């Protein structure tokens, strides 16, 4: 049986969740550090360049959303095949994943060639900002093949019970990016273009390392184009699970755009503070999403193996781990809000006055958000992706934006509590939904 050789079915659950999640958490934290360092470097060159990156960020988030969302469907189908002991089918699923990730890159390339200029003309009337943004985004989107292949190899390594490979692939690319940023931005005086070049070099390097690690699994997981047999059923199943996840992941882009417009009713300083928050909150949410990503193959594998006890134990421990991370993030950000604004983002006195209490209010939502995020992994893994989509819509759009707009009109200084109120309302929906949909399905599994 496949489960005898795969840690997803044999390792003690607490150790397994940590083993699967820790490399992802570490690699995502390194990625968060890269995003922060990249922004600080560019801000030191020019405020206009930093503004260009801010406008480009939603598009980059959209590409990542497609990759992450497809990864959910890919992981669920691949891990389930492995849990059922169907290795040949699992290899064919991996080949389908390569095809679909290549399609995502082609979409990004088309946007780079034909969409960047119109996008920035809509975003800004400043020609200097638009030109810098077009140069940056054309490189990052057009050469995002490395990003797409990173996601593919990470998910293969994760589903085959080699979670450390995830950290190696993503971490190596992000680390190289951090090293190359000052070289290209300052050393070669390339500015925002240098940041883009460093980004794609890091991504392509990570992808190459990922393919090497997958190649090393050739005896137990012989991935080869010769084994590929196109299947509409596999493609449809993967996309059916992935589509809600893609929409869910892309909500961050729409949330940011919506909040920017709402906060503009207060001041441009409020928009600046939101930008700082988005960069900083990654240090809390990326570890939580690391637990989420680690749980998906665990739950899917053990669902295929009909092991209800391991599924329940995994979800429970994932909740404990994520809520603890959220609480720690609340404490740390509350204490560090002032020095972060002053030294990392060189905030003005006005931004300091608004930003310190704002960051402390936003931090209150972290632990509550962790509950909904972890429950979403159960929805995704057990073919309840529509429930996961609903939870994300509630968190980031349906509750958040109207609450923010209401607070701006009533008490503008308290608008930052919109995150906490939105998460509380979402959790009040997600927990009963989990009990009605996931719990009965897990209990129905045969021992």
Residue 29 lies in a domain: yes
Q: Are 36 and 333 in contact (CB under 8 A)?
A: no
Residue 120 lies in a domain: yes
Residue 155 lies in a domain: yes
Q: Which pair of structure tokens corresponds to residue 146? A: 């490395």
* Gyration radius of the chain's alpha carbons: 21
Domain that includes residue 420, residue range = 12-440
Q: How far apart are CA 415 and CA 262, in angstroms?
A: 10
Q: How far apart are CA 130 and CA 116, in angstroms?
A: 9
What confidence tens digit (pLDDT) does each residue in 185-214 have?
999 989 899 999 999 999 999 999 999 999
At residue 4, the pLDDT reads 47
DSSP-based three-state secondary structure for 265: coil
Residue 3 lies in a domain: no
Residue 356 lies in a domain: yes
Angstrom distances, CA of residue 135 to CA of 37, 52, 165, 196, 202: 20, 10, 32, 8, 18
Residue 300 lies in a domain: yes
What confidence tens digit (pLDDT) does each residue in 341-395 have?
877 666 678 889 999 999 999 999 999 999 999 999 899 888 787 898 899 899 9
What confidence tens digit (pLDDT) does each residue in 207-248 have?
999 999 999 988 878 787 777 888 888 899 889 888 877 887
Q: Please compute the mean of the pLDDT values over residues 5-17 and round it to a whole number.
A: 83
| Segment among 40-54, 191-205, 294-308 with least mean pLDDT | 40-54
Task: Using a pLDDT cut of 90, give the percent of the chain over it.
Answer: 43
DSSP letters of 144-163?
THHHHHHHHHHHHHHHTT-T
Residue 290 lies in a domain: yes
Q: Are 19 and 165 in contact (CB under 8 A)?
A: no
Mean pLDDT of all residues in the chain? 87
Residue 313 lies in a domain: yes
Into how many domains does the chain fold? Answer: 1
Q: How far apart are CA 45 and CA 157, in angstroms?
A: 38
Q: Which pair of structure tokens corresponds to residue 178? A: 């951090």
| pTM of this structure | 0.76
Assess whether pLDDT exceeds 80 at residue 2. no
């Amino acid at each position: 049986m496949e489960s005898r050789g795969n840690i997803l079915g044999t390792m003690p659950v607490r150790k397994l969740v940590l083993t699967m999640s820790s490399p992802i958490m570490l690699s995502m934290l390194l990625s968060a550090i890269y995003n922060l360092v990249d922004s600080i470097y560019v801000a030191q060159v020019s405020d206009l360049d930093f503004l260009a990156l801010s406008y480009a960020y939603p598009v980059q988030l959209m590409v990542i959303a497609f990759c992450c969302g497809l990864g959910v469907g890919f992981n669920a189908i691949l891990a389930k095949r492995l849990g059922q002991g169907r290795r040949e089918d699992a290899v064919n699923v991996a080949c389908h994943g390569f095809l679909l990730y290549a399609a995502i890159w082609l979409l990004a390339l088309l946007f780079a060639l034909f969409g960047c200029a119109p996008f920035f003309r809509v975003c800004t009337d400043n020609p200097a900002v638009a030109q810098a943004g077009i140069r940056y985004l054309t490189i990052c989107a057009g050469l995002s093949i490395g990003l797409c292949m990173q996601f593919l190899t990470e998910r293969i390594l994760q589903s085959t019970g080699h979670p450390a490979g995830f950290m190696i692939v993503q971490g190596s690319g992000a680390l190289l990016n951090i090293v190359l940023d000052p070289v290209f931005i300052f050393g070669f005086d390339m500015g925002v273009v240098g940041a883009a070049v460093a980004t794609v070099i890091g991504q392509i390097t990570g992808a190459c390392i990922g393919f090497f690690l997958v190649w090393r699994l050739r005896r137990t997981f012989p991935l080869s184009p010769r084994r590929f047999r196109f299947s509409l059923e596999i493609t449809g199943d993967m996309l059916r699970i992935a589509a809600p996840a893609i929409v869910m992941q892309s909500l961050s882009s729409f949330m940011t755009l919506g909040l920017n417009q709402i906060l503009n009713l207060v001041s441009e300083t409020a928009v600046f503070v939101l930008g700082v928050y988005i960069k900083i909150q990654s240090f809390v949410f990326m570890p939580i999403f690391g637990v989420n990503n680690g749980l998906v193959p665990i739950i899917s594998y053990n669902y295929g193996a009909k092991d209800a006890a391991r599924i329940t134990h995994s979800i429970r421990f994932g909740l404990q781990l994520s809520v603890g991370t959220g609480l720690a993030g609340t404490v740390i950000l509350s204490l560090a809000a002032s020095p972060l604004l002053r030294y990392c983002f060189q905030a003005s006195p006005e931004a300091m006055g608004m930003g310190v209490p704002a960051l402390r209010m936003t931090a209150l939502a972290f632990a509550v958000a962790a509950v909904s995020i972890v429950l979403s992994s159960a929805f995704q893994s057990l073919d309840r992706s529509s429930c996961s989509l609903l939870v994300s819509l509630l968190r980031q759009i349906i509750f958040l934006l109207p609450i923010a707009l209401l607070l701006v009109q009533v008490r503008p200084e308290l608008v930052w509590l919109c995150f906490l109120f939105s998460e509380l309302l979402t959790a009040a929906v997600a927990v009963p939904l989990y009990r009605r949909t996931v719990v009965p399905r897990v209990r129905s599994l045969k021992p």
